């Protein structure tokens, strides 16, 4: 039976950071069937949605809905509150049990379904003193102001155990498959993984993707972070047996080793355990491995290669934002902001691509045994980010989410499709399918797209303009009231003119001049506008 070892140790013996070594084991498990953890939908409201047969011989067209509904209202005595003519042909109404019975017997009625309550998804304000790790921010699971509530389902952490009394975690003792005693963490790796999924939003430490989610510690790796397949199968067996009772719908496996060969569900006991647990409704997230190689090349990396799991590659991100402007991550050299992590395994075949997704896995801060915190890197850190997103998709705050009722295979494809829909070259990473590097790492998971909850950005308001200098010291006074008056003055003007006339004297008389003064009087008219203000 192969030994499950950290992929990093296998790939890069020179790397001495034990934190990275322990990353080889990635265990992030969400417990099985969701229904056990949720209250039953309230069917006692008396409100129903009735859909007419839309396709059969008795099909009711949109134009007939009003008349058909009116006929039944008259016969049975109910009153429809809504009528539907397009997406559904039918109506909604408060109905008695007898009405429901009668409508269910009605050949033209295809469906009588209880009208269940829904609740708006609301973000939770971030508690003062809480720090949002970069990976949580990068997936838009939380920002400096808001985050998500706890998942409605529980998550199993198949790992080195979890610090059961860490104040930032709601960790329950699940199963110790390595030795005796509780599944308390004697390594640190499992506690770190647990905090990425569900560290509380309680005002100290860090906040997880799905804060306060119930976590079940399943210890399958020893204090060195090593284990055997038999340990892993023991953990998966416990998850499968307890999923329904404990509401476990997600399980994380931040661990890996080399398989003997490619297998079907029936050909390999570890593969069979994963297939059976998945069929019981548990979604498994698995770390892609830290060897920087193709997980699908023989011999395959397992459980990353199993087609039934959601395999998570690692992205480097230093600032919790897209845009590659965060600078190099501080805890590890050689990595670039918003680029695939150099150590991350990847895929090269379509069948392997089909269950791959990416998440932050470099310099991730999370919980540590003894009530502390630590910063680690690895695909082990990437996988629990996605486990948290899947847990939120199952539902939060006790309600049902968009993944409730989906099979694990459907959940995996939904979360991958959400990531693809959200991706652009501006918000993705170097190495994703929009900016490929010749290898497949998948799209970056998106809590925003998968849960449908966009956190408010709370952008700071634009800075206020500096106050205008006070006007010159003139005392304030009321605006003057002004009137304009037209003044007309007339005056006489005397014009004098000397007129010289030549006088001619006949018969030798001398010539002479005669001067005459002519006077004329003119009247001048002056118009003036006089403006007067008071
Ligand atoms: Ca402890
Ligand atoms: Ca916290
Ligand atoms: Ca970044």
pLDDT digits (tens, 9 = 90+) for 131-187: 999 999 999 999 999 999 999 999 999 999 999 999 999 999 999 999 999 999 999
- In terms of C-beta density within 10 A (0-12 exposed, 13-18 middle, 19 or more buried), how is residue 117 classed? exposed
pLDDT tens digit sequence for 77-133: 999 988 888 777 899 899 999 999 999 999 999 888 877 654 445 678 999 999 999
Across the range 265-293, mean pLDDT stands at 97
* CA 318 – ligand 3 centroid, Å: 5
> Minimum-distance ligand to the CA of 335?
3
With 70 as the cut, is the pLDDT of residue 27 above it?
no
126 three-class SS: coil
pLDDT, position 134: 98
Catalytic site includes residue 337? no
Q: Which residues contact 97 (CB under 8 A, 6 or more apart)?
A: none
With 80 as the cut, is the pLDDT of residue 290 above it?
yes
pLDDT, position 533: 64
* CA 385 – ligand 2 centroid, Å: 16
With 50 as the cut, is the pLDDT of residue 16 above it?
no
Contact 512, 505 (CB under 8 A): yes
Distance (Å) of CA 334 to CA 7, 114, 341, 442 = 19, 57, 9, 21
Vertex 82 angle, CA 93 and 406, to 5°: 80
pLDDT, position 389: 98
- In terms of C-beta density within 10 A (0-12 exposed, 13-18 middle, 19 or more buried), how is residue 348 classed? middle
| Rounded CA separation 317/254 (Å) | 19
**DSSP character at residue 123:** P
| Rounded CA separation 301/289 (Å) | 8
pLDDT tens digit sequence for 508-520: 555 667 777 778 7
* CA 20 – ligand 3 centroid, Å: 21
* CA 269 – ligand 3 centroid, Å: 40
pTM over 0.85: no
pLDDT, position 472: 57
With 70 as the cut, is the pLDDT of residue 534 above it?
no
Across the range 246-251, mean pLDDT stands at 98
Catalytic site includes residue 97? no
Q: For residue 20, what pLDDT band results from cuts at 50, 70 and 90?
A: very low
* CA 165 – ligand 1 centroid, Å: 5
Which candidate in 151, 318, 347, 380 is catalytic? 380
> Of the given ranges (78-87, 443-452, 482-491, 505-514), which has the lowest mean pLDDT?
505-514
97 three-class SS: helix
Give phi and psi for 131, each to the nearest 5. -110, 135
With 80 as the cut, is the pLDDT of residue 207 above it?
yes
Contact 193, 30 (CB under 8 A): no
Contact 494, 520 (CB under 8 A): yes
pLDDT, position 4: 34
Contact 432, 441 (CB under 8 A): yes
pLDDT tens digit sequence for 325-351: 999 999 999 999 999 999 999 999 999
Catalytic site includes residue 172? no
Q: Which residues contact 172 (CB under 8 A, 6 or more apart)?
A: 154, 164, 214, 215, 216, 217
Higher-pLDDT residue of 221 and 460 is: 221
Contact 484, 533 (CB under 8 A): no
pLDDT, position 241: 97
- Size of the chain, expressed as the number of residues it contains: 534
With 60 as the cut, is the pLDDT of residue 281 above it?
yes
Which candidate in 189, 271, 355, 385 is catalytic? 189
**β-pair partners for 6:** none
Distance (Å) of CA 174 to CA 157, 250, 503 = 9, 14, 148
- Nearest alpha-carbon partner for 24 in 10, 34, 14: 10
Mean pLDDT of the chain: 86
> Minimum-distance ligand to the CA of 139?
3
| Rounded CA separation 398/396 (Å) | 5
pLDDT, position 9: 31
- Residue 475 neighbours by CB distance under 10 Å: 4
With 70 as the cut, is the pLDDT of residue 33 above it?
no
């Amino acid at each position: 039976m192969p030994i499950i070892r950290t992929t990093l140790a296998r790939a890069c013996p020179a790397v001495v950071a034990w934190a990275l070594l322990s990353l080889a084991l990635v265990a992030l498990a969400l417990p099985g069937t969701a229904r056990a953890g949720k209250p039953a939908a309230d069917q006692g409201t008396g409100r129903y949605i009735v859909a007419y047969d839309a396709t059969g011989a008795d099909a009711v067209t949109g134009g007939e809905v009003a008349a058909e509904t009116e006929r039944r209202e008259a016969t049975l005595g109910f009153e429809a509150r809504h009528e539907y003519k397009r997406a559904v042909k039918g109506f909604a109404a408060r109905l008695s049990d007898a009405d429901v019975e009668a409508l269910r017997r009605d050949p033209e009625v295809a469906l009588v379904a209880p009208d269940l309550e829904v609740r708006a998804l609301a973000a939770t304000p971030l508690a003062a003193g809480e720090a949002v790790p970069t990976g949580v921010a990068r997936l838009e699971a939380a920002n400096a102001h808001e985050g998500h509530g706890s998942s409605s389902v529980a998550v199993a952490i198949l790992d080195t155990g979890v610090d059961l009394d860490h104040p930032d975690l709601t960790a329950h003792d699940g199963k110790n498959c390595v030795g005796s005693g509780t599944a308390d963490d004697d390594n640190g790796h499992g506690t770190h993984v647990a905090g990425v999924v569900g560290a509380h939003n309680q005002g100290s430490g860090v906040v997880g993707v799905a804060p306060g989610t119930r976590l079940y510690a399943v210890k399958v790796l020893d204090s060195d972070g090593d284990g055997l397949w038999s340990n892993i199968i023991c953990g998966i067996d416990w998850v499968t047996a307890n999923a329904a009772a404990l509401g476990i719908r997600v399980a994380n496996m931040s661990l890996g080793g080399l398989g003997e060969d490619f297998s079907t569900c029936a050909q390999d006991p570890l593969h069979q355990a994963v297939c059976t647990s998945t069929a019981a409704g548990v979604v498994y997230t698995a770390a892609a491995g830290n060897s920087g190689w193709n997980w699908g090349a023989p011999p395959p990396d397992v459980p990353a290669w199993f087609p039934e799991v959601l395999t998570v590659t690692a992205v480097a991100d230093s600032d919790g934002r897209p845009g590659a402007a965060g600078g190099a991550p501080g805890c590890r050299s050689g990595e670039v902001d918003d680029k695939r992590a150099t150590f991350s395994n990847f895929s090269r075949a379509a069948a392997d691509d089909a269950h791959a997704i990416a998440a932050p896995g470099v310099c991730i801060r999370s919980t540590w045994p003894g009530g502390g915190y630590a910063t680690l890197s690895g695909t082990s850190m990437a996988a629990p980010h996605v486990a948290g997103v899947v847990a939120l998709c199952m539902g939060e705050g006790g309600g049902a989410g968009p993944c409730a009722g989906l099979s694990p295979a459907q959940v995996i494809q939904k979360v991958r499709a959400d990531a693809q829909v959200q991706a652009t070259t501006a918000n993705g990473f170097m190495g994703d399918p929009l900016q490929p590097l010749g290898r497949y790492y998948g799209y970056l998971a998106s809590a925003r797209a998968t849960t449908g909850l966009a956190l408010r950005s709370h952008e700071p308001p634009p800075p206020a303009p500096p106050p205008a200098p006070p006007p010159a010291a003139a005392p304030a006074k009321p605006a003057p009231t002004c009137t304009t008056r037209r003044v007309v003055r007339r005056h006489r003007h005397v014009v004098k003119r000397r007129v010289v006339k030549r006088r001619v004297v006949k018969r030798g008389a001398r010539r002479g001049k005669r001067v005459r003064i002519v006077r004329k009087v003119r009247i001048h008219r002056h118009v003036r506008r006089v403006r007067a203000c008071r």
